[in-house]
Amino acid sequence: MRGLIAMFVASDGSGDFKTIQQAIDAIPDDNSQPVVIYIKKGIYREKVFIDKPRIRLIGEDPRHTVITYDDYAKKLLPNGEPMNTLNTYSCYIGGHDFVAENITFANTAGSGHIVGQAIAAYVDADRAVFKNCWFLGCQDTLFTGPVPRDPLPVNIRLTHPVLGYGKKITGPVRQYYESCYIEGDVDYIFGSATAVFNRCTLATKDRKKPVNGYITAASTSAQTPFGYVFLNCTLKGSAGPNSVYLGRPWRNHAKVAFLRCWMGEQIIVEGWHNWNKPDAEHTVCFAEYQNEGPGANSENRAKWAKILTDEEAKAYTIENIFSGWRPDRE
């Protein structure tokens, strides 16, 4: 790659930097060249903040190249206020044209009913690509920005800028996840981005409850034609049979589609939940097409969900969803 800048991070001191944040901080704010940061195997316990463009993080493999932290929404700050959801990230990514490969992003705070929301990766960047990455957590594992423009719930409010939560993006936000493993329970993929998940594994944890979780909580804007699109993914996990919803609407124009996915028996027969907002049933687009497996029984889905026709499914191609951007060819 022309003009490429390369850096090496190794926790044992054998690289240019011992921490990932040290490498990020060494990049000039006005840098215009692509930067690749090679990360050697190791557990990098640090709260990483990336707000510079054209950065690539390349790990050795996701099993042994791990970015992890354990902040959580109910954690009390020195002033006595709770940390709140969006400040809990282990890794914040706000620079456009970002790429990550062979890395795990983890939040080890624990179960949401004890600690609240705990984000592993907060991705607020346009043209962000993740390949062969793992995202590990419980409640709210992966946040795909931007923050919804309409008023925020109390537990999402951005009140602590010193923690570095990132900007609100006004333009399109497109993200691509390929061959990734994403684990959690309640709303563990949530946010407003247009994001394609291609050949990913979605693993829902067992909370020992009648409803163990919701895979998605989209907040797609009314003006955005696509929200979350899952292509050829595998839905599994330790959650019991008939205990996991495909999604619920964080905002009333949420858009989520599963096409040609394999769904395990953990998926609830109705498939979709309205989050106790009957009005959302008229505005969301929750869709499915040619899914297989014991959890893919579309005949008994919620009446307000959609089964795509062959013609409608043709619109759900990577090129069409991203208006010409082809991250799967990088």
Q: Is residue 12 part of a domain?
A: no
For residue 238, is pLDDT > 80? yes
Q: Is residue 15 part of a domain?
A: no
Q: Cα torsion for 65, 134, 36, 330, to the nearest 10°?
A: 140
Q: Is residue 23 part of a domain?
A: no
29 given a catalytic annotation? no
For residue 37, is pLDDT > 90? yes
Q: Is residue 10 part of a domain?
A: no
- Rounded percentage of the chain residues whose pLDDT exceeds 90: 83
Which residues span the domain enclosing 228? 42-329
Residue 120: CATH number of its domain: 2.160.20.10
pLDDT, tens digit (0-9, with 9 covering 90-100), for 95-127: 999 999 999 999 999 999 999 999 999 999 999
pLDDT for 30 equals 79
Q: Is residue 308 part of a domain?
A: yes
pLDDT for 67 equals 98
**Long-range contacts, stretch 111-114, CB < 8 angstroms, 24+ apart:** 111/138, 111/139, 111/207, 112/138, 112/139, 112/140, 112/185, 112/186, 113/207, 114/74
pLDDT for 79 equals 86
Contacts for 170 with CB less than 8 Å, ≥ 6 apart? 146
279 given a catalytic annotation? no
pLDDT for 1 equals 46
Q: Is residue 80 part of a domain?
A: yes
pTM of the predicted protein model: 0.94
Q: Is residue 125 part of a domain?
A: yes
Average pLDDT over residues 182-211: 97
In 3D space, the residue among 54, 43, 42 whose CA is nearest the CA of residue 5 turns out to be: 54
Which one of the listed residues 187, 206, 310, 328 is annotated catalytic?
187
User: What's the structural domain count of the chain?
Assistant: 1
Q: Is residue 25 part of a domain?
A: no
pLDDT for 276 equals 95
Which one of the listed residues 71, 124, 126, 140 is annotated catalytic?
140
